[in-house]
Amino acid sequence: MNRRRFLKRGIVLGTTLAAGAPARAQAPAPDDPSKVLGGPMLPYGERSRFEEPVRMKSAAAKTDEMGGNQTPLADLFGIITPSALHFEVHRGGVPDIDPRKHRLLVHGLVDRPLILTIDEIKRLPATSRILFLECQGNSQAEWRAPTGKAVQQTHGTMSCSEWTGVPLAVLLREIGVKKNGSWIIAEGADATGNERSLPMAKAMDDVLVAYGQNGEALRPENGYPLRLIVPGWTGNINVKWLRRLTVVDRPYLTRMDGVGQPTLMPDGKARQLQFVMEAKSVITFPSGGQRLPGPGLYEVSGLAWSGRGLVRRVEVSTDGGRTWRDARLQAPVLRFAHARFSLDWRWDGREAVLQSRCIDETGYVQPTLRELVRVRGLESHYFNNAIQSWKVANDGNVHNVHA
Amino acid sequence: MSFGALLAAAGASSAAGQLPTYGVGRPPTAEEVKAWDLTIPADGQGLPPGGGTAALGKTVFVERCASCHGDTGEDPKYSRLVGGRGTLATDKPVRTVGSFWPYATTLWSYIRRAQPFDEPGSLTPDQVYAVTAYLLYLNGIVREDEVIDANTLPRVRMPNRDGFVPDERPDVGRTAKPRPATR
């Protein structure tokens, strides 16, 4: 096919191409780019047409509007997730919101209830923090057997961004919380009107009412124009498309508080109002679906994080957990953020099982799956922060295993 | 007064709990709060007037909800709503409105705000009460002719009302909380 005919077809197939069709199918790049006039400047930049990592819908996604879309962690560098690849989870699709019409109502047990526009919220003092965000359903398909082929499937409902917004404490001081105001109901403007109960102590501590993500406005799928960011806590309470904060005197046990989020224990009781994402880590290289070309020196690399604050140490095993070595932590290591770790490893070409475990500032050690199952059984679905095992086979192919 | 002095004055007042510091936004009207605040807590506070029975609810359910949940709420494709009683402590637990949900008021609140999936918020309060009654009836919790309204709904005793415990984590390793001996 000549270039002109291809371009013509490309227009017809435009959506397919934009969705990540292989760059090979397009016109080849010049052999010597310095001998050809380059392309034009663009108002809003695009990545190279040769870059292909994309989000992928999780196996549990029931429709295009309900479920998760996971981050390709193995293709990313450092600790920041590009906004276009940040994971998303919805139960009623992505709402289309005009920020000029959007309002935040803050009321309830307060002295001065307010309705604020986005511009008014931006007039309040802002702060920016690099924070991880993890859905409590991350790794939920891994309880019984290793099901995800790659780290995108096993751990991709998790990302890390720089978030910018107003500390919720500033807003709460602005409206004056009454003495008996001990919880806040936060509600989003999506088709499910997602609402969650947030304890006042956390709200006053470090929660953000965010409008910025990695230096620009939030992406629609991540809450545009306004969302809560609740450092270290389960994704769903970071309410997106935030339109209402109601100060109340008790948790309301909303649909997601009371029914959607609780985890079932072996005795039939369910744990309710769980918020913290416990310490966790995963090796992103080498990881499932990748292939080592041959024996030699490799830098094992991965991500660690803890909803209780700082990652203090990450240990890596290359023998299925028999022996452990301290990994290097790359600066910056920030509270409630991803930490990038790495370790030099000489692969001798024989089968090896690679694992990592995170130890946080509280002394909590990321557990094995067996330890978790012993206490929680196999029906709790959520909060699976078990050590992940990747088996490097003799041929260099890397597989998800339970070890 | 200079801008700095204004800020200082506002700051001093705010510290005394008297005045907002930045003075942004405007007070909402009572109508605005009423229209926006659709949150119903577990105890049913704020449930609106209206009511319905399972018999009426069946008509609405079959027309508006059954394509996803089946005529009797037992289709597991999206969310199974009916059955599963007595399964929670087994190795094949079935979580439904009847077997798992602690409060009937949550059902009302969720149907009003989030259902039907493709037309959220389109049911009238009477229809929401009726569909709620139908689902409670299918789960053997209320009678077919029982009127469900703002008075009766909060008094419905859900079978799994006492099935919940607080967060017990950290529950493994050396920083684990002591586990309750029995519960």
Query: Across the interface, do A105 and B32 touch by the CB < 8 Å criterion?
Result: yes
H/E stretch holding A399 reads strand A398-401
Amino acid at A282: V
In sequence order, which residues have a C-beta less than 8 Å from that of residue B106 and are 6 or more positions away? A253, A254, A255, A258, A259, B40, B42
CA–CA dist A171, A189 (Å, integer): 19
On chain A, the residues whose CB falls within 8 A of the CB of B95 are: 264
Query: Across the interface, do A174 and B24 touch by the CB < 8 Å criterion?
Result: yes
In order of their start, the domains of chain B are 1-37 (no CATH), 40-155 (1.10.760.10)
CB atoms under 10 Å from CB of A266, counted, come to 18
Looking at CA atoms only, how far is residue B19 from chain A in angstroms?
A: 8
Each residue of A356-368: pLDDT tens digit?
999 999 999 999 9
Q: What confidence score (pLDDT) does residue A301 get?
A: 98
Q: Exposure of A35 by Cβ count < 10 A (0-12 exposed, 13-18 middle, 19+ buried)? A: exposed
Q: What confidence score (pLDDT) does residue A22 get?
A: 52
Per-residue pLDDT of chain B (183 residues; tens, 9 = 90+): 343 344 344 444 444 455 668 999 999 999 999 998 889 999 999 999 999 999 999 999 999 999 999 999 999 888 899 999 999 999 999 999 999 999 999 999 999 999 999 999 999 999 999 999 999 999 999 999 999 999 999 999 999 999 999 999 999 999 999 876 555
Q: Is A264 on the interface with B (CB under 8 A)?
A: yes
Average pLDDT over residues A101-114: 97
Query: Across the interface, do A273 and B167 touch by the CB < 8 Å criterion?
Result: yes
Q: What confidence score (pLDDT) does residue A371 get?
A: 97
In sequence order, which residues have a C-beta less than 8 Å from that of residue B61 and are 6 or more positions away? B69, B71, B73, B131, B134, B135
Q: What confidence score (pLDDT) does residue A114 get?
A: 97
Q: What is the largest CA-CA distance in chain B?
A: 72
Asked if residues B163 and A269 have their Cβ atoms less than 8 Å apart, the reply is: yes
Looking at CA atoms only, how far is residue A66 from chain B in angstroms?
A: 10
Give the 3-state DSSP-derived string for A303-357, with helices as H, strands as E and coil as C. Answer: EEECCCCCEEEEEEECECCCCCEECEECCCCCCCCCEEEEEEEEECCCCEEEEEE
On chain B, the residues whose CB falls within 8 A of the CB of A174 are: 20-22, 24-25
Q: What confidence score (pLDDT) does residue B37 get?
A: 84
Question: Nearest residue of A to residue B23 by CA position?
Answer: A174
**CB-closest option in B27, B40, B175 to A113:** B27
DSSP states along A96-158: ---TTT-EEEEEESBSS-EEEEHHHHHHS--EEEEEEEE-TTTTGGGSSS---SSHHHHH-SE
CA–CA dist A88, A161 (Å, integer): 13
Better-scored residue on pLDDT, A66 or A155: A155
Question: Nearest residue of B to residue A243 by CA position?
Answer: B36
On chain A, the residues whose CB falls within 8 A of the CB of B40 are: 252
Q: Is B32 on the interface with A (CB under 8 A)?
A: yes
H/E stretch holding B137 reads helix B125-138
Q: Is A117 on the interface with B (CB under 8 A)?
A: yes
**CB-closest option in B20, B114, B169 to A112:** B20
What tokens were used for B102?
A: 């602690």
Chain A residues 376-395 within an 8 A CB cutoff of chain B: 376, 378-379, 383
In order of their start, the domains of chain A are 103-271 (3.90.420.10), 280-401 (2.60.40.650)
Asked if residues A398 and A292 have their Cβ atoms less than 8 Å apart, the reply is: yes
Q: Is A270 on the interface with B (CB under 8 A)?
A: yes
Each residue of A288-309: pLDDT tens digit?
999 999 999 999 999 999 999 9
Q: Is B114 on the interface with A (CB under 8 A)?
A: yes
How does residue A61 score in pLDDT terms, banded at 50, 70 and 90? confident
Query: Across the interface, do B42 and A367 touch by the CB < 8 Å criterion?
Result: no
CA–CA dist B152, B133 (Å, integer): 10
CA–CA dist A95, A144 (Å, integer): 35
Better-scored residue on pLDDT, A205 or A59: A205
Q: Is B103 on the interface with A (CB under 8 A)?
A: yes
Looking at CA atoms only, how far is residue A254 from chain B in angstroms?
A: 6
Asked if residues B28 and A117 have their Cβ atoms less than 8 Å apart, the reply is: no
Dihedral Cα B74, B77, B80, B86, nearest 10 deg: 90
Dihedral Cα B44, A244, A164, A175, nearest 10 deg: -100
Query: Across the interface, do B39 and A195 touch by the CB < 8 Å criterion?
Result: yes
Q: Is A271 on the interface with B (CB under 8 A)?
A: yes
CB atoms under 10 Å from CB of A346, counted, come to 9
What tokens were used for A242?
A: 């935030």
Average pLDDT over residues A172-194: 96
Chain A residues 126-165 within an 8 A CB cutoff of chain B: none
Query: Across the interface, do A105 and B175 touch by the CB < 8 Å criterion?
Result: no
Q: What is the pTM of this model?
A: 0.92
Q: Which of B75, B95, B110 to mutate to test the interface with A (most CBs of A within 10 A)?
A: B110
CA–CA dist A314, A361 (Å, integer): 12
Closest CA to B76 of B93, B101, B89: B93
Each residue of B23-72: pLDDT tens digit?
999 999 999 999 988 899 999 999 999 999 999 999 999 999 999 999 99
CA dist A221 → A57, A158, A328 (Å): 14, 14, 34
Query: Across the interface, do B109 and A107 touch by the CB < 8 Å criterion?
Result: no
Average pLDDT over residues A250-275: 96
Residues A149, A82, A56, A155, CA torsion sign: positive
Query: Across the interface, do A264 and B101 touch by the CB < 8 Å criterion?
Result: no
Asked if residues A71 and A282 have their Cβ atoms less than 8 Å apart, the reply is: no
CA–CA dist A163, A229 (Å, integer): 8
3-state secondary structure of A18: helix
Q: Is B16 on the interface with A (CB under 8 A)?
A: no
Q: What confidence score (pLDDT) does residue B155 get?
A: 97
Asked if residues A358 and A340 have their Cβ atoms less than 8 Å apart, the reply is: no
Q: What confidence score (pLDDT) does residue B181 get?
A: 59
Looking at CA atoms only, how far is residue B137 from chain A in angstroms?
A: 19
What number of CA atoms fall less than 13 Å from residue B7's CA on the CB side? 3
Q: Is B155 on the interface with A (CB under 8 A)?
A: no
Q: What confidence score (pLDDT) does residue A396 get?
A: 98
Q: How much of chain A exceeds pLDDT 90, in percent?
A: 91
CB atoms under 10 Å from CB of B154, counted, come to 18
Q: What confidence score (pLDDT) does residue B18 get?
A: 54
How does residue A24 score in pLDDT terms, banded at 50, 70 and 90? low
